[in-house]
Chain A
Amino acid sequence: SSELTQDPAVSVALGQTVRITCQGDSLRSYYASWYQQKPGQAPVLVIYGKNNRPSGIPDRFSGSSSGNTASLTITGAQAEDEADYYCNSRDSSGNHPFGGGTKLTVL
Protein backbone atom coordinates (compact mmCIF):
# COMPACT_ATOMS: atom_id res chain seq x y z
CA SER A 1 0.00 0.00 0.00
CA SER A 2 1.19 3.54 -0.77
CA GLU A 3 -0.97 5.16 1.92
CA LEU A 4 0.49 7.03 4.87
CA THR A 5 -1.78 7.59 7.86
CA GLN A 6 -1.44 10.43 10.38
CA ASP A 7 -3.57 11.51 13.32
CA PRO A 8 -5.52 14.61 12.22
CA ALA A 9 -4.75 16.61 15.36
CA VAL A 10 -2.43 16.52 18.34
CA SER A 11 -1.94 18.96 21.20
CA VAL A 12 0.93 19.57 23.60
CA ALA A 13 1.50 21.85 26.57
CA LEU A 14 4.17 24.48 26.12
CA GLY A 15 7.58 23.04 26.95
CA GLN A 16 6.42 19.44 26.92
CA THR A 17 7.29 16.64 24.49
CA VAL A 18 5.02 15.52 21.67
CA ARG A 19 5.28 12.71 19.15
CA ILE A 20 3.58 12.82 15.77
CA THR A 21 3.27 9.48 14.00
CA CYS A 22 2.96 8.29 10.42
CA GLN A 23 1.96 4.72 9.54
CA GLY A 24 2.27 2.84 6.28
CA ASP A 25 3.59 -0.39 4.82
CA SER A 26 6.17 1.48 2.73
CA LEU A 27 7.86 2.68 5.92
CA ARG A 28 9.20 -0.83 6.44
CA SER A 29 11.45 -0.23 3.41
CA TYR A 30 11.81 3.55 3.08
CA TYR A 31 12.46 6.34 5.54
CA ALA A 32 9.96 9.14 6.01
CA SER A 33 10.66 12.82 5.59
CA TRP A 34 8.75 15.38 7.65
CA TYR A 35 7.51 18.85 6.73
CA GLN A 36 6.25 21.74 8.83
CA GLN A 37 3.70 24.08 7.27
CA LYS A 38 2.45 27.25 8.88
CA PRO A 39 -0.65 29.07 7.57
CA GLY A 40 -0.09 30.76 4.25
CA GLN A 41 3.44 29.42 3.91
CA ALA A 42 5.17 26.73 1.89
CA PRO A 43 6.14 23.51 3.67
CA VAL A 44 9.59 23.34 5.23
CA LEU A 45 11.65 20.17 5.61
CA VAL A 46 12.38 19.42 9.28
CA ILE A 47 13.56 15.78 9.28
CA TYR A 48 14.74 13.30 6.62
CA GLY A 49 16.35 9.89 6.61
CA LYS A 50 17.11 8.07 9.83
CA ASN A 51 17.21 11.31 11.87
CA ASN A 52 18.71 14.15 9.83
CA ARG A 53 17.91 17.81 10.41
CA PRO A 54 18.52 20.40 7.70
CA SER A 55 20.56 23.44 8.63
CA GLY A 56 18.52 25.88 10.67
CA ILE A 57 16.10 23.35 12.16
CA PRO A 58 16.25 23.35 15.98
CA ASP A 59 17.56 20.23 17.65
CA ARG A 60 14.32 19.81 19.58
CA PHE A 61 13.04 18.15 16.37
CA SER A 62 14.01 14.50 15.96
CA GLY A 63 12.88 11.50 13.95
CA SER A 64 12.69 7.77 14.47
CA SER A 65 11.23 4.71 12.83
CA SER A 66 10.08 1.25 13.90
CA GLY A 67 8.36 -1.28 11.70
CA ASN A 68 5.62 0.45 9.72
CA THR A 69 5.64 3.61 11.86
CA ALA A 70 7.73 6.74 11.56
CA SER A 71 7.68 9.37 14.30
CA LEU A 72 8.53 13.03 14.58
CA THR A 73 9.27 14.10 18.15
CA ILE A 74 9.42 17.66 19.40
CA THR A 75 11.17 17.83 22.78
CA GLY A 76 10.21 20.99 24.62
CA ALA A 77 7.56 22.30 22.23
CA GLN A 78 7.52 26.04 21.63
CA ALA A 79 4.66 28.28 20.60
CA GLU A 80 6.25 28.70 17.15
CA ASP A 81 6.02 24.94 16.58
CA GLU A 82 2.24 25.19 16.21
CA ALA A 83 1.70 24.15 12.60
CA ASP A 84 0.60 21.35 10.29
CA TYR A 85 3.06 18.48 9.93
CA TYR A 86 3.19 16.11 6.97
CA CYS A 87 5.13 12.92 6.42
CA ASN A 88 6.24 11.66 3.00
CA SER A 89 7.90 8.52 1.77
CA ARG A 90 8.51 6.42 -1.29
CA ASP A 91 6.64 3.24 -2.08
CA SER A 92 7.67 0.16 -4.02
CA SER A 93 6.12 1.53 -7.22
CA GLY A 94 8.20 4.70 -7.15
CA ASN A 95 5.41 6.93 -5.91
CA HIS A 96 5.91 9.51 -3.16
CA PRO A 97 2.65 9.90 -1.24
CA PHE A 98 2.15 12.35 1.61
CA GLY A 99 0.34 11.57 4.82
CA GLY A 100 -2.89 13.43 5.47
CA GLY A 101 -1.21 15.83 7.90
CA THR A 102 -1.35 16.45 11.64
CA LYS A 103 -2.40 19.78 13.09
CA LEU A 104 -0.27 20.48 16.15
CA THR A 105 -1.67 22.83 18.79
CA VAL A 106 0.65 24.15 21.50
CA LEU A 107 -1.37 24.95 24.64
Chain B
Amino acid sequence: QLQLQESGPGLVKPSETLSLTCTVSGGSISSSSYYWGWIRQPPGKGLEWIGSIYYSGSTYYNPSLKSRVTISVDTSKNQFSLKLSSVTAADTAVYYCARHRSDSSSIFWFDPWGQGTLVTVSS
Protein backbone atom coordinates (compact mmCIF):
# COMPACT_ATOMS: atom_id res chain seq x y z
CA GLN B 1 0.00 0.00 0.00
CA LEU B 2 1.42 3.36 -1.01
CA GLN B 3 2.32 5.65 1.87
CA LEU B 4 3.66 9.20 1.97
CA GLN B 5 5.44 10.87 4.88
CA GLU B 6 6.37 14.54 5.17
CA SER B 7 9.48 15.59 7.07
CA GLY B 8 11.29 18.84 7.82
CA PRO B 9 11.66 21.64 10.36
CA GLY B 10 8.55 22.60 12.28
CA LEU B 11 9.74 26.15 12.86
CA VAL B 12 11.09 28.57 10.25
CA LYS B 13 12.11 32.19 10.75
CA PRO B 14 10.49 34.98 8.70
CA SER B 15 12.27 35.73 5.40
CA GLU B 16 13.98 32.32 5.42
CA THR B 17 13.25 29.30 3.20
CA LEU B 18 10.88 26.53 4.23
CA SER B 19 12.12 23.09 3.14
CA LEU B 20 10.12 19.88 3.33
CA THR B 21 10.61 16.37 1.95
CA CYS B 22 8.01 13.74 1.17
CA THR B 23 9.17 10.13 1.27
CA VAL B 24 7.16 7.64 -0.76
CA SER B 25 7.03 4.00 0.34
CA GLY B 26 5.20 0.99 -1.02
CA GLY B 27 5.60 2.09 -4.62
CA SER B 28 7.91 3.85 -7.04
CA ILE B 29 7.87 7.60 -7.51
CA SER B 30 8.90 6.94 -11.10
CA SER B 31 5.62 5.27 -12.05
CA SER B 32 4.10 6.79 -15.16
CA SER B 33 0.75 8.61 -15.03
CA TYR B 34 1.50 9.99 -11.60
CA TYR B 35 2.37 13.46 -10.51
CA TRP B 36 3.27 14.22 -6.90
CA GLY B 37 1.80 17.24 -5.19
CA TRP B 38 2.06 19.59 -2.24
CA ILE B 39 -1.00 21.08 -0.55
CA ARG B 40 -1.16 23.28 2.54
CA GLN B 41 -3.79 24.28 5.09
CA PRO B 42 -3.40 27.30 7.39
CA PRO B 43 -4.82 26.73 10.88
CA GLY B 44 -8.61 26.83 10.78
CA LYS B 45 -8.69 27.48 7.04
CA GLY B 46 -9.15 25.59 3.79
CA LEU B 47 -6.85 23.64 1.51
CA GLU B 48 -4.52 25.34 -0.97
CA TRP B 49 -2.76 23.53 -3.81
CA ILE B 50 0.90 24.57 -3.96
CA GLY B 51 2.16 22.64 -6.96
CA SER B 52 2.91 19.26 -8.51
CA ILE B 53 5.86 17.49 -10.13
CA TYR B 54 6.24 14.56 -12.52
CA TYR B 55 9.04 12.05 -11.88
CA SER B 56 10.85 13.42 -14.93
CA GLY B 57 11.01 16.81 -13.21
CA SER B 58 8.33 18.77 -15.05
CA THR B 59 6.42 20.99 -12.69
CA TYR B 60 3.42 23.26 -12.42
CA TYR B 61 2.76 25.69 -9.61
CA ASN B 62 -0.04 27.73 -8.08
CA PRO B 63 0.33 31.14 -9.77
CA SER B 64 -0.07 32.92 -6.42
CA LEU B 65 3.02 31.13 -5.04
CA LYS B 66 5.00 30.48 -8.21
CA SER B 67 7.64 33.16 -7.60
CA ARG B 68 8.61 31.58 -4.25
CA VAL B 69 8.11 27.85 -4.84
CA THR B 70 10.44 25.13 -6.07
CA ILE B 71 9.42 21.48 -6.16
CA SER B 72 12.02 18.86 -7.03
CA VAL B 73 12.21 15.08 -7.20
CA ASP B 74 14.91 12.57 -6.24
CA THR B 75 14.01 9.25 -7.84
CA SER B 76 17.02 7.50 -6.27
CA LYS B 77 15.59 8.19 -2.80
CA ASN B 78 11.92 7.91 -3.83
CA GLN B 79 11.38 11.42 -2.50
CA PHE B 80 10.14 14.78 -3.67
CA SER B 81 10.72 18.10 -1.98
CA LEU B 82 9.25 21.55 -1.48
CA LYS B 83 11.09 24.81 -1.02
CA LEU B 84 9.21 28.02 -0.25
CA SER B 85 11.32 31.13 -0.01
CA SER B 86 10.87 34.45 1.81
CA VAL B 87 8.30 33.03 4.21
CA THR B 88 6.04 35.13 6.41
CA ALA B 89 3.56 34.31 9.15
CA ALA B 90 0.96 33.80 6.40
CA ASP B 91 2.86 30.67 5.34
CA THR B 92 2.19 29.01 8.70
CA ALA B 93 0.21 25.90 7.82
CA VAL B 94 -0.02 22.14 7.83
CA TYR B 95 1.77 21.00 4.70
CA TYR B 96 0.60 17.78 3.00
CA CYS B 97 2.12 15.76 0.22
CA ALA B 98 -0.03 13.53 -1.98
CA ARG B 99 0.07 11.45 -5.12
CA HIS B 100 -1.57 13.38 -7.94
CA ARG B 101 -3.24 11.15 -10.49
CA SER B 102 -5.00 11.43 -13.80
CA ASP B 103 -6.57 8.79 -16.00
CA SER B 104 -7.70 11.13 -18.75
CA SER B 105 -7.37 14.74 -19.76
CA SER B 106 -10.36 15.71 -17.64
CA ILE B 107 -10.05 13.60 -14.49
CA PHE B 108 -7.54 14.39 -11.73
CA TRP B 109 -7.33 13.51 -8.07
CA PHE B 110 -5.05 13.43 -5.01
CA ASP B 111 -4.72 10.05 -3.30
CA PRO B 112 -3.26 9.01 -0.94
CA TRP B 113 -2.17 11.87 1.29
CA GLY B 114 0.56 12.06 3.88
CA GLN B 115 -0.42 12.76 7.48
CA GLY B 116 0.76 16.38 7.18
CA THR B 117 3.34 18.39 9.06
CA LEU B 118 2.80 21.72 10.80
CA VAL B 119 5.25 24.44 9.87
CA THR B 120 5.18 27.60 11.95
CA VAL B 121 6.83 30.78 10.72
CA SER B 122 8.00 32.79 13.70
CA SER B 123 11.12 34.48 15.01
Please tell me which one of the listed residues B47, B48, B107, B114 contacts residue A49 in the complex, with CB atoms under 8 A apart: B107
> Does B46 contact A100, Cβ atoms closer than 8 Å?
yes
Residues in B whose Cβ lies below 8 Å from that of A29 = 106
A23 proximal to B (CB < 8 A): no
Residues in B whose Cβ lies below 8 Å from that of A42 = 96, 113-116
> Does B113 contact A33, Cβ atoms closer than 8 Å?
no
Taking the nearest CB of chain B, how far is it from the CB of A89, in angstroms?
A: 7
Given A30-B108, A33-B108, A42-B116: A49 touches B60 (CB 8 Å cut-off): no
Q: In this complex, which of A48, A86, A93, A101 has the most chain B Cβ atoms within 10 angstroms of its Cβ?
A: A48
Please tell me which one of the listed residues A33, A49, A50, A100 contacts residue B110 in the complex, with CB atoms under 8 A apart: A33
Q: Please give the number of chain B residues whose Cβ is less than 8 angstroms from any Cβ of chain A in the complex.
A: 25
**Residues of B73-123 whose CB lies within 8 A of A:** 96, 100, 103-104, 106-116
Residues in B whose Cβ lies below 8 Å from that of A67 = none
Closest to A87 in B: B47
Given A42-B115, A45-B111, A95-B60: A30 touches B106 (CB 8 Å cut-off): yes
A13 proximal to B (CB < 8 A): no
A19 proximal to B (CB < 8 A): no
Taking the nearest CB of chain A, how far is it from the CB of B98, in angstroms?
A: 8
Residues in A whose Cβ lies below 8 Å from that of B47 = 35, 37, 43, 86, 88, 98, 101
Residues in A whose Cβ lies below 8 Å from that of B72 = none
The CA-CA distance from A70 to B49 in the complex, in Å, is 19
> Does B46 contact A96, Cβ atoms closer than 8 Å?
no
> Does A96 contact B115, Cβ atoms closer than 8 Å?
no
B52 proximal to A (CB < 8 A): yes
The CA-CA distance from A33 to B99 in the complex, in Å, is 13
> Does B114 contact A98, Cβ atoms closer than 8 Å?
no
Closest to B50 in A: A96
A44 proximal to B (CB < 8 A): yes
> Does B109 contact A45, Cβ atoms closer than 8 Å?
yes
Interface residues of B (CB under 8 A from A): 37, 39, 46-49, 52, 60, 62-63, 96, 100, 103-104, 106-116
